[in-house]
Structure formats: structure tokens, C-alpha cells
């Protein structure tokens, strides 16, 4: 859903009030395979667990929760933007504007059928779980697909909900026009200033924060910073209507930025635009730039990420005997038929 509205009111013949209002709402979802246990915690099955027929303690490396069905990732976002200002002209060659801008986006992310790892552990703890019907903590049978009962699934699976957003408030003023005439044309000038506040936040589901949800652990994020900037631009026509030079223009610009958290910085740009003919143009520029850290980089806490690795010796015995990888794996004592179990490490 998208809505927008624009309006202007004439104050004088050369001055106007203007406003812009935008709203956007989006909902989306995607399906994913059932979640897999064993990535964030081992699946320890005690020798005396009622579902363990071996009489020995077992550790399952992986167990996909197919009985619980697919996971659904859902997103809901709202974007607002409001601008109000005044603009006008001075004479025939100068335009100016001043405006207040407020923008905000918020979002909710949800995931279904996420395992609560503490509860998974409880269904494997013989001192806590029971096999009787209606048990508060049912014992879970993770040794065979299809063996997890509806009671166990209801106990260990949950839905997570994360919220977050960004907010920007700014006050800006700009002016542009022509300074004076040169033989090749008018010298253009523009300048402006802006004061801005950037804020952001993200609140993961509590189970994600405490490391219980079967997903990467995350800490909440919240913070803000302010910035003040001024800029100036100049466009100087050098040549015009000469052989092989329909026009030649020099452009330059400079910006000064002052941030509340990480000091100030100046940047510049200089370049030439050479219009050889209507169908051929050359442009050359030199400029400087910098990037300020964003809210997650400034205020982010712990955020887990899973690395993936590939063992070169996985299934090495199927390689030609002349293969360097095959020879190295054999020399290292890797048994024939070895296959990498998984490629995810914490």
C-alpha cells in the first residue's frame, strides 16, 4: 500500500509554502525448510533416556525437525515521510528553499517453528521429562524421523518476533543561481546547509537475545547521532561554439560535515565537461569521499554469524589417484570414504 500527497500555497508572486507526505506499508513472507538442531547446541541423548535403545550415550550431529513443517519468515514494514517548507525566487536568476523533513521506517520480522533449545534439552533430560500422556515436559524421540510427537513439537517450537526501525529529522536551506556572465555563458552557483539527526534501533526476540532460540544470537541495538553540513558548488563555462568544442565547463564543489560522535571532515570535487558535438561528450572528475559508521556499527552488541567451510578431503578417495588433493589427504591419514558432515561452524 502506498499513499502520497503534495501541496503548495502561494504566499506572494515569488514565494510558496509546500508540503509532501508519503506513506508505504508492505507485508511479505517466505517459506524455508524445517529448522535443524545441532548447529548451536549438541543433541545429547543419555544412555538411560527412554527413547535410546542402545544403552549408550549418544550425540546427534544434526536433526532436522521435519515433523514440525516448514518455517515461515514474515516481514511487515511501514515508511512515513513528511516535508514542509517554503521556497521562492529572487529576481530572474536565483531560487531558494528551506524545509523541515521527518522520515521514519519501522519493521517487524517474524519466524515460525523456531526451536527453543532450552526446552529441547529438557525433553532429553530424564530427570525432567516423562513419557506419560499429558506430561508437562514430554520426552522427545530424536532418533528417527517421524518419531517426534505433537506434544513434543508443541513444547519445543515457538514463533519469534523482532522489531526495529530508523528515524531521521533534518532542517535544510538551499540557494542557487547565476553569479555573473562570461563569454561562454553564466557562472552557476549553489550553496546550502543542513542539520540532521539519525536514530536507529532493533529489538530481537527475547529468546534470540538470551541465546535460547535456534538461531544466531543478537543483542538489542539503539542509538543516534547528529550532523551539521554546509556545501557550495560552482559551474564555470570556459569555451563555447568552437571547432571540436561545443562547450567546455569546469565544475567544482566542496562540503564540510561535522558529526557529534566522530568529528568533522571536508570533501571536494573538481571536474571538466567537454561537449565535442551533440553526440559525443567527455567527462573527467576527481573527488574525495568518506563513509560514516551506521547505527548498528556504532551501537551493535553481540551478533553471531555462522561461517561455512569446505573440507578439501571430503570424499577424497573418489578423486583420481594422481590428484594432489587425493595424495595429500591419504598422506595425512584421512580414511577412504570420509565425508564432511556439515559445513557450518560457530
Domain ranges of the chain: 2-305, 306-346
CA atoms within 13 A on the CB side of 227: 21
Give the pairing of strands 63-64 and 36-37. antiparallel
Spatial contact of 142 and 119, defined as CB atoms under 8 Å apart: no
Burial of 154 (0-12, 13-18, 19+ CB in 10 A): exposed
**pLDDT, position 260:** 95
Task: Indicate the length of the chain as a whole number.
Answer: 346
The SS3 call for residue 266 is strand
SS (H, E, C) 42-95: CEEECCCCCCCCCCCCEEECCEECHHHCCEEEEEEEEEEEEEEEEEEEECCCEE
The pLDDT of residue 344: 57
Q: Tell me the pTM.
A: 0.77
Q: Residue 144's CB: how many other CB atoms inside 10 A?
A: 9
DSSP output for 128-157: T-B-STT-SSBPP--SSTT-S-HHHHHHHE
pLDDT at 106: 98
Residue 346 has what pLDDT?
46
CA distance 216 to 227: 33
Helix (H) or strand (E) holding 283: strand 280-287
Low-confidence ranges of the chain (pLDDT < 50): 346
For residue 52, which phi and psi values (nearest 5 degrees)?
-100, 110
Phi, psi (degrees; rounded to nearest 5) at 24: -140, 135
pLDDT of residue 91: 85
The candidate with the shortest Cα–Cα distance to 142, out of 158, 129, 127, is 129
Amino acid at each position: 500500500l502506498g499513499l502520497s500527497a503534495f501541496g503548495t500555497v502561494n504566499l506572494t508572486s515569488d514565494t510558496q509554502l509546500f508540503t509532501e507526505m508519503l506513506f508505504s506499508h508492505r507485508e511479505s513472507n517466505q517459506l524455508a525448510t524445517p529448522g535443524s538442531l545441532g548447529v548451536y547446541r549438541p543433541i545429547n541423548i543419555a544412555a538411560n533416556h527412554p527413547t535410546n535403545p542402545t544403552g549408550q550415550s549418544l550425540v546427534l550431529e544434526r536433526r532436522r525437525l521435519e515433523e514440525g513443517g516448514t518455517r515461515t519468515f514474515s516481514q511487515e514494514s511501514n515508511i512515513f515521510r513528511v516535508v514542509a517548507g517554503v521556497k521562492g525566487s529572487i529576481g530572474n536568476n536565483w531560487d531558494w528553499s528551506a524545509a523541515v523533513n521527518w522520515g521514519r521506517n519501522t519493521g517487524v520480522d517474524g519466524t515460525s517453528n523456531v526451536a527453543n533449545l532450552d526446552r529441547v534439552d529438557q525433553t532429553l533430560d530424564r530427570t525432567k521429562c516423562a513419557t506419560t500422556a499429558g506430561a508437562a515436559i514430554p520426552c522427545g524421540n530424536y532418533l528417527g524421523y517421524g518419531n517426534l510427537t505433537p506434544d513434543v513439537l508443541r513444547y519445543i517450537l515457538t514463533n519469534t518476533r523482532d522489531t526495529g526501525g530508523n528515524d531521521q529529522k533534518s532542517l535544510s536551506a538551499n540557494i542557487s543561481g547565476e553569479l555573473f556572465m562570461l563569454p561562454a555563458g553564466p557562472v552557476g552557483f549553489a550553496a546550502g546547509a543542513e542539520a540532521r539527526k539519525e536514530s536507529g534501533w532493533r529489538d530481537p526476540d527475547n529468546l534470540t537475545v538470551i541465546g535460547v532460540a535456534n538461531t544466531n544470537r543478537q543483542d538489542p541495538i539503539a542509538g543516534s547521532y547528529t550532523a551539521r553540513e554546509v556545501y557550495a558548488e560552482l559551474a564555470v563555462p570556459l569555451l563555447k561554439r568552437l571547432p571540436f568544442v561545443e562547450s567546455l565547463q569546469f565544475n567544482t564543489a566542496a562540503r564540510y560535515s561535522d558529526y557529534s560522535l566522530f568529528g568533522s571532515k571536508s570533501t571536494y570535487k573538481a571536474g571538466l565537461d567537454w561537449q565535442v558535438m551533440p553526440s559525443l561528450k567527455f567527462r573527467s572528475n576527481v573527488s574525495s569521499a568518506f563513509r560514516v559508521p551506521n547505527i548498528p556499527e556504532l551501537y551493535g552488541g553481540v551478533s553471531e554469524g555462522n561461517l561455512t567451510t569446505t573440507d578439501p578431503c571430503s570424499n577424497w578417495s573418489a578423486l583420481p589417484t594422481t590428484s594432489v588433493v587425493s595424495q595429500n589427504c591419504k598422506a595425512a591419514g584421512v580414511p577412504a570414504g570420509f565425508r564432511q558432515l556439515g559445513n557450518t561452524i560457530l
